[in-house]
């Protein structure tokens, strides 16, 4: 059954897979990543055991999520912060706009947050006349190009230095340069002014700590720290699945996230925010607001078979391991969460029928499951999603019929033998090639064997 | 496969009623259809001490997925093995007395590698074949892009993955690419022959049978 | 009466009535290899991250001379070593702070609003100088977290940061560039 979303995906995939420049850029980026991750994992006494620890902690949290959410809220409130529960993306957007109006906000600085991408926050802010600036270098580049991020961790993985230099020249009037350092300094200078004059800082959170009521933010640039330090108001938008039980758990999760995300021991800045500026403190926002976002996560929670997909710490390792991602790139997925995790959760977070094709856009190689630091059974969940699609009758009725016929053939050794001979004949006559154009457009078909195994067995089978 | 097993004095039987493990249906989401074939498989092979298959993906289907499909594992599903796995792990044999003079590279079929955890066993067997020079490719573990119906549903992605794999094979200078799974070999061979490349595909079983 | 809150929590509770498959438990073996010589390990990690260590008071005096505007956290330690501030956080070219502790495992400096004079002082200035004592070095993150919890004893500061090297980015073709938004230079001086 085809949908416009599927047709768009196929169109974008066809374009990107034929783009050899794109393939080379992505391969180079991921080769660098792979080497760094190999080194990063060696810092653990036993990487596999570290994964098991993390899986156990996330299982405990997600399977007692109500308790941990309530504890988190209690602690945020006790520290002088506010908690808003958003059932939908719309609820979250409306609340942010309300806060902005309340505080006379004209300018917002944002740090990198896939959750804010998910709820399309920037568009809502711009429509309301609030100047919104992405401050993570990669996200800033995406914003001035008018593109969504290419990857959940590395937003401009698909661009070369030259692409970025041209963008800065066209959009910022900056002099053309060949130096990554100079390009970064151009962005630094521009964004510094934005930090110093912004009214509100909006961040996401990598983790939400239940027992201390803090949000944890992981970064390398320092833009998140500036976003929650300089403006008058700090808003953190946090998916309800980000909870972990305890402050001490970060001693595992910070290095785990870094090792899988970039190969680092830990990122340059791993921060914790527990509330607004206190009496005894010299600076910081006067108000701290946490928005806890559902937006379909409770749907995924209710699917006990795939519940562990909520353990995801958004490290991006599965994207980097996926041969499909490496060939089609992030934009082709057409949705916020890309790669294997995206293909698992999107049918739950968004319309199941419209997004039923993503789990099928996989060869089920299993590389994703192997690299996931919290042991999510990713490729098996793709199979579960496929089964769900069939059970919900999202499949093509012709395909359904074909599999019924196929089953009938497979249940009868006689029919199977006849079908095999007909198949070989169709191959020899070139009929199969004509019918299976998707294959034969680019590949040859095998030459049928001179003798089927059944015939071989008849000849050589019985022996004393 | 039969040749090699008999060389090792294994009593081999081939139940003629067998057809398909059901994986194509299972992978496409048709679990009811797959379940029917799973039940059928268990009936057909009920008497065997061991069931050996020249396919890592069929073996993974039976051993790893039948329990989920049928609600539980049983003797038949537990005693189904891939060929290289059976030779090395069950018979304890790494040298089957084969002779095959060629420079070869080995492609890790995904199910064999990640579902059955077979990485060293096929290589051990290959290294002990007289005349074989085994050269590792840098993308040995990367999927070839077959993925069953994926190869015709998303042929452009399948083709790009095929191209990445063949590029890696070419860099080794190998004359043959060897693998446990014939579906992978068909995918790779399809590209090689369309591009008129001199590299040949051959299954591990065929190499081990050669003398 | 928060309807959204009730709805979400009710959906969570209702979902969790069906149990999910539990992963295989980890072993009790330590997650990280033990840090045998914390000071040596700290120096090694800190240098690898392009952190700069000032070895003695003469070198420190020379270093300070290079900065016109200096902002400090107003602490006794920093006052004794550096003296008074002569610029604000926003205008300075050097920010000087103390810290909570130093982590050998990762070469990190942990600061808070209490130990480092607020939030901005350790991230806004182009260069950040930390005045620390060798006794502040702890072997690993786990020890550091335990120390912080004990020290703050429920009166947590509103913000804490684990700083590991100067600010950096690799967003452009994975080429490492220092000083993306935070300090381009992270400098450390042991006062003991």
pLDDT tens per residue across span A333-378: 999 999 999 999 999 999 999 999 999 999 999 999 999 999 999 9
C-alpha–C-alpha distance, residues A362 and A348, integer Å? 18
CATH code, A50-295: 3.40.50.10420
Q: Both B110 and B199 in a single domain?
A: yes
User: Residues 40-99, chain C: which have Cβ within 8 Å of A?
Assistant: 45, 89-90
Sign, Cα dihedral of C125, C127, C132, C134: positive
A150 touches A331 (CB < 8 A):
yes
Q: What is the pLDDT of residue A458?
A: 79
Helix (H) or strand (E) holding C189, with range, is strand C185-190
Greatest Cα pair distance, chain C, in angstroms, is 67
The candidate with the shortest Cα–Cα distance to A165, out of A176, A154, A150, is A176
CATH architecture of C31-167+175-190: 3-Layer(aba) Sandwich (3.40)
Find tokens 């007395």 and name the residue. Answer: B97
Give CA separation, C114 vs B144, C151, C157, in Å. Answer: 56, 11, 6
Quote the tokens at residue C1.
Answer: 């009466």
Angle between helices A339-349 and A378-391 (to 10 degrees): 30
The reply to whether residue A366 touches residue B114, judged by beta carbons under 8 angstroms, is: yes
Q: Both B81 and B128 in a single domain?
A: no
Give the percent of chain C with pLDDT over 70.
Answer: 100
C-alpha–C-alpha distance, residues C122 and C106, integer Å? 18
Of C5, C13, C175, the CB nearest to A180: C175
DSSP codes, A63-86: TTHHHHHHHHHHHHHHTT-EEEEE
Number of domains in chain B: 2
What residue ranges of chain A are covered by domains with CATH 3.40.50.10420? 50-295
Find tokens 């996401």 and name the residue. Answer: A204
B118 touches B135 (CB < 8 A):
no
pLDDT tens per residue, range C82-104:
999 999 999 999 999 999 999 99
Instruction: State the burial class of residue C156 (Cβ atoms within 10 Å of its Cβ: 0-12, 13-18, 19+).
Output: buried
Q: Both B76 and B8 in a single domain?
A: yes
Q: Both B117 and B30 in a single domain?
A: no
Q: Both B166 and B105 in a single domain?
A: yes
| Contacts with A284 from chain C: Cβ below 8 Å | 113, 118-119, 158-159
Q: Both B116 and B77 in a single domain?
A: no
Is chain B touching chain A, with at least 3 CB–CB pairs below 8 Å?
yes
Paired with A243 in beta bridges are A208
C-alpha–C-alpha distance, residues A346 and A152, integer Å? 14
In A186-265, DSSP assigns E strands to: 200-203, 207-209, 214-219, 233-239, 243-244
Greatest Cα pair distance, chain B, in angstroms, is 47
pLDDT reading at A89 higher than 50 = yes
pLDDT tens per residue, range A169-220:
999 999 999 999 999 999 999 999 999 999 999 999 999 999 999 999 999 9
The reply to whether residue A160 touches residue C173, judged by beta carbons under 8 angstroms, is: yes
Instruction: State the burial class of residue A331 (Cβ atoms within 10 Å of its Cβ: 0-12, 13-18, 19+).
Output: middle
Lowest mean pLDDT among A412-421, B6-15, B109-118: A412-421
The reply to whether residue B24 touches residue A406, judged by beta carbons under 8 angstroms, is: yes
Over residues C6-26, mean pLDDT:
97
Task: Locate the chain A residue with the closest alpha carbon to C184.
Answer: A221
A105 touches A200 (CB < 8 A):
yes
pLDDT reading at A464 higher than 60 = no
This prediction's pTM:
0.95
Q: Both B118 and B62 in a single domain?
A: no
Task: Locate the chain A residue with the closest alpha carbon to B13.
Answer: A461
Q: Both B72 and B36 in a single domain?
A: yes
Q: Which domain CATH number covers B200?
A: 3.40.50.11810
CA distance B190 to chain A (A): 4
pLDDT reading at C38 higher than 90 = yes
Q: Both B204 and B103 in a single domain?
A: yes
The reply to whether residue A444 touches residue B194, judged by beta carbons under 8 angstroms, is: yes
Over residues A297-310, mean pLDDT:
98
How many Cβ pairs closer than 8 A exist between chain A and B? 156
Q: Both B23 and B112 in a single domain?
A: no
The reply to whether residue A272 touches residue C160, judged by beta carbons under 8 angstroms, is: yes
Q: Both B81 and B119 in a single domain?
A: no
The candidate with the shortest Cα–Cα distance to B59, out of B26, B83, B82, B43, is B82
Q: Does C113 touch chain A (CB under 8 A)?
A: yes
The band of C30, judged by pLDDT with boundaries at 50, 70 and 90, is: very high
Find tokens 């209690």 and name the residue. Answer: A74
CA distance B120 to chain A (A): 17
| Contacts with A69 from chain C: Cβ below 8 Å | 8-9, 12
pLDDT tens per residue, range A108-165:
999 999 999 999 999 999 999 999 999 999 999 999 999 999 998 889 999 999 999 9
Quote the tokens at residue B14.
Answer: 């081939």
Task: Locate the chain A residue with the closest alpha carbon to B41.
Answer: A411
Q: What is the pLDDT of residue B87?
A: 96
Enclosing domain of residue B66: 2-88
Please give the DSSP secondary-structure letter assigned to residue A359. Answer: G
B25, B147, B156, best to mutate vs chain A, most A CBs in 10 Å: B156
The reply to whether residue A161 touches residue C172, judged by beta carbons under 8 angstroms, is: yes
Which sequence spans correspond to the domains of chain C?
A: 31-167+175-190
pLDDT tens per residue, range A223-269:
999 999 999 999 999 999 999 999 999 999 999 999 999 999 999 99
| Contacts with A95 from chain C: Cβ below 8 Å | none
Q: Both B99 and B193 in a single domain?
A: yes
C-alpha–C-alpha distance, residues C161 and C125, integer Å? 16
B178 touches B204 (CB < 8 A):
yes
């Amino acid at each position: 059954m085809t949908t416009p979303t599927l047709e768009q995906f196929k169109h974008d995939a066809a374009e990107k897979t034929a783009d050899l420049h794109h393939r080379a850029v992505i391969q180079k980026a991921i080769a660098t990543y792979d080497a760094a991750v190999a080194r990063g994992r060696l810092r653990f006494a036993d990487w596999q055991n570290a994964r098991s620890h993390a899986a156990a902690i996330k299982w405990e949290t997600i399977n007692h999520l109500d308790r941990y959410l309530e504890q988190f809220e209690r602690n945020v409130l006790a520290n002088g912060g506010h908690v808003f529960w958003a059932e939908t993306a719309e609820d979250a957007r409306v609340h942010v706009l309300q806060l902005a109006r309340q505080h006379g906000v004209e300018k917002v600085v944002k740090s990198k947050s896939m959750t804010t991408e998910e709820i399309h926050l920037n568009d809502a802010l711009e429509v309301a006349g609030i100047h919104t600036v992405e401050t993570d270098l990669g996200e800033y580049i995406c914003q001035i190009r008018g593109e969504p991020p290419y990857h959940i961790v590395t937003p401009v993985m698909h661009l070369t230095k030259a692409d970025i230099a041209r963008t800065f020249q066209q959009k910022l009037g900056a002099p053309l340069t060949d130096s990554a350092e100079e390009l970064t300094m151009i962005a630094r200078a521009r964004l510094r002014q934005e930090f110093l004059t912004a009214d509100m800082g909006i961040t996401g959170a990598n983790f939400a700590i239940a027992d201390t009521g803090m949000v944890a933010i992981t970064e390398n640039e320092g833009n998140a720290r500036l976003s929650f330090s300089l403006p008058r108001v700090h808003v953190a938008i946090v998916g309800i699945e980000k909870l972990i039980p305890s402050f001490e758990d970060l001693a595992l999760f910070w290095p785990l996230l870094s090792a899988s995300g970039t190969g680092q021991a830990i990122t340059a800045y791993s921060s914790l925010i527990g509330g607004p500026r206190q009496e005894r403190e010299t600076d910081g926002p006067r108000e701290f607001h946490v928005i806890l976002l559902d937006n379909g996560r409770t749907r995924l929670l209710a699917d006990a078979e795939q519940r562990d997909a909520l353990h995801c710490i958004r490290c991006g390792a599965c994207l980097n391991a996926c041969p499909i991602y490496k060939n089609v790139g992030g934009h082709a997925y057409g949705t916020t969460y890309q790669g294997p995790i995206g293909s698992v959760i999107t049918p739950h977070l968004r319309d199941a029928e419209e997004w039923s094709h993503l789990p099928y856009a996989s060869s089920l190689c299993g590389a994703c499951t192997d690299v996931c630091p919290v042991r999510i059974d990713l490729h098996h969940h793709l199979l579960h999603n496929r089964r769900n699609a069939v059970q919900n009758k999202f499949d093509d009725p012709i395909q359904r019929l074909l599999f019924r016929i196929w089953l009938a053939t497979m249940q009868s050794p006689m029919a199977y033998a006849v079908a095999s001979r007909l198949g070989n004949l169709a191959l020899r006559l070139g009929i199969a090639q004509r019918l299976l154009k998707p294959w034969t457009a680019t590949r040859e078909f095998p030459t049928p064997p001179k003798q089927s195994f059944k015939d071989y067995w008849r000849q050589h089978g019985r022996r004393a | 496969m039969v040749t090699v097993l008999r060389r090792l004095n294994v009593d081999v039987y081939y139940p003629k009623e067998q057809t398909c493990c059901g994986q194509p249906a299972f992978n496409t989401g048709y679990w009811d259809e797959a379940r029917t074939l799973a039940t059928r498989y268990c009936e057909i092979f009920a008497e065997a001490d061991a069931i050996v298959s020249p396919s890592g993906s069929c073996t993974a289907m039976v051993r790893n997925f039948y329990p989920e499909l049928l609600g539980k594992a049983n003797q038949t599903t537990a005693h189904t093995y891939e060929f290289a796995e059976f030779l090395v792990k069950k018979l304890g044999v790494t040298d089957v007395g084969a002779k095959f003079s060629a420079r070869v590279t080995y492609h890790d079929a995904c199910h064999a590698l990640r579902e059955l955890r077979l990485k060293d066993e096929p290589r051990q067997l290959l290294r002990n074949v007289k005349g074989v020079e085994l050269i590792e490719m840098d993308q040995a573990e990367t999927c070839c892009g077959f993925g069953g119906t994926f190869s015709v549903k998303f042929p452009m992605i399948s083709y790009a993955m095929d191209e990445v794999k063949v590029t890696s094979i070419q860099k080794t200078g190998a004359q043959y690419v060897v693998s446990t799974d014939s579906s992978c070999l068909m995918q790779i061979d399809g590209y090689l022959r369309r591009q008129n490349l001199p590299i040949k595909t051959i299954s591990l079983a065929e190499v081990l049978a050669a003398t | 009466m928060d309807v959204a809150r009730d709805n979400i929590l009710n959906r969570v509770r209702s979902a969790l009535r069906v149990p999910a498959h539990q992963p295989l438990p980890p072993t009790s073996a330590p997650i990280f290899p033990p840090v045998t010589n914390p000071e040596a390990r700290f120096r090694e990690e800190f240098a690898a991250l392009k952190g700069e260590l000032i070895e003695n008071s003469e070198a420190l005096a020379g270093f300070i001379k290079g900065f016109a505007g200096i902002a400090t956290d107003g602490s006794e330690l920093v006052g004794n070593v550096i003296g008074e501030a002569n610029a604000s956080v926003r205008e300075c070219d050097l920010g000087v702070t103390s810290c909570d502790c130093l982590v050998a495992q990762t070469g990190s400096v942990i600061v808070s609003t209490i130990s480092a004079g607020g939030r901005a002082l350790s991230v806004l200035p182009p260069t950040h100088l930390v005045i620390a004592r060798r006794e502040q070095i702890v072997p690993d993150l786990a020890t550091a977290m335990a120390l912080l919890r004990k020290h703050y004893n429920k009166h947590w500061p509103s913000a804490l940061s684990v700083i590991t090297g100067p600010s950096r980015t690799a967003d452009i073709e994975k080429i490492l560039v220092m000083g993306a938004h935070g300090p381009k230079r992270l400098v450390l001086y042991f006062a003991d």
